Structure 1
Amino acid sequence: MNLEKILSISGKPGLYVLRVQTRTGFVAESLSDGKKITVNLKSNVSLLSEISIYTYDGEKPLVEIMEAIAVKHNYGQAISHKEDNATLLAYLKEILPNYDEDRVYASDVKKILNWYNTLQSKGLVVEETAASEAATEAVTEESVVAEKPKKTKTVKE
């Protein structure tokens, strides 16, 4: 699962994909409706790849937590983010047994599950080995096409 260009923009619902960086900010595309918006540098923007969850041992990257959710549900949809708080915290306890109960709130779990289900519905939650195999096949196909002999002109004498 690659979260490198997935953004959460404060004050805007849903997730966005970083498309183009500009002089004054960047252009992002909404995952929900595909509309492009411009975001200035003063906006509060979080890359999902940079987010971590507090544990008693330190911090755990969000990508690892989402990968654990994906494995638990066989890369399908997780439970709804609209469940009651006790259910959400119990669910997180299954996924991440040593999360810091004093610093991680039910609202955090709601965001994580909402983001996961959004990414999953858009086909962005895939098994790493399958994704790397698909990328390898694409590169192999490109190199096969590139290796075809070019026609050369022969000059008649």
Structure 2
Amino acid sequence: MEFSKIIAVTGKPGLFEILSQTKTGVIVKSIVDGKRFPITATHNVSLLENIAIYTYEEEVPLAQVIKNISDKESGKESISHKESNTTLLSYFSEILPSFDEERVYASNVKKVIQWYNILVNAKFDFSTLVSEASVETEEEE
């Protein structure tokens, strides 16, 4: 499973892996339960690799944030995304100390932690995120 092929779909819980492309959209597989179904152009889709978290200095790619969580938790599950907002924000400040507290809401943190835990349960190889994140950084320079 490649990070570049993982998407979130508005209105559908969980994460999905893109399997193939069709004339009208893409075929995806749920990372949670393995069910396959089509996603059409009417769905609002976000590639995880295109998501970034605001900090006071820059925007940090989601891949780097997820890698930070993986490093902190040694690849195991993190706290539940159902914890209190205070607990979630406190935890997130350990992961990304300079996150912009005015533009990053508790609901954003919940999603990131929930997505991380989904990837852990799917046995995602977080070590691949280092090479992907460093390749992007090298290309920008």
TM-score (norm 2): 0.87
**Percent identical across equivalent pairs?**
45
* Inter-partner Cα distance in structure 2 for 1:16 and 1:61: 19
Paired residue secondary structure (2:8): strand
Distance (whole Å) between structure 1 residues aligned to residue 126 and residue 110 of structure 2: 21
2:116 and 2:39 map into 1 onto residues whose CA distance is 23
Deviations, residues 78-106 of structure 1 (Å, cap 9, x unaligned): 11101000000001111111100000000
After superposing on structure 2, the runs of 4+ consecutive aligned residues of structure 1 that deviate more than 6 Å are: none
1:4-44 deviation line (CA, Å, top 9, x unaligned)? 00010011111100001011111011111111111111210
Corresponding residue of 2:40? 40
- What's the CA shift for 1:125? 3.7
Query: For this pair of structures, how many residues does the alignment match?
Result: 130
Match of 2:111 in 1: 111
Higher relative contact order (CA 8 A, sep 6+): 2
Q: Which runs of 5+ in 1 are unaligned?
A: 132-157
Deviations 1:97-150 (A, max 9, x none): 110000000000000000000001110143349x9xxxxxxxxxxxxxxxxxxx
Partner of 1:121: 121
Whether 1:26 and 2:26 are equivalent positions in the alignment is yes
Is 1:79 aligned to 2:74, yes or no? no
Query: What pairs up with 1:5-154 in 2 under 5 angstroms?
Result: 5-128=5-128
CA, structure 1 residues 125+77, in 2 after alignment: closer, same or farther (shift >3 Å)?
Answer: farther
C-alpha separation in 2, matches of 1:125 and 1:111: 19
Q: What's the TM-score, normalizing by structure 1?
A: 0.79
Instruction: State how far apart, in whole Å, the 2-side matches of 1:90 and 1:33 are.
Output: 31
Q: Structure 2 stretches of 5 or more lacking a match?
A: 132-141
Give the greater-gyration-radius structure (CA): 1
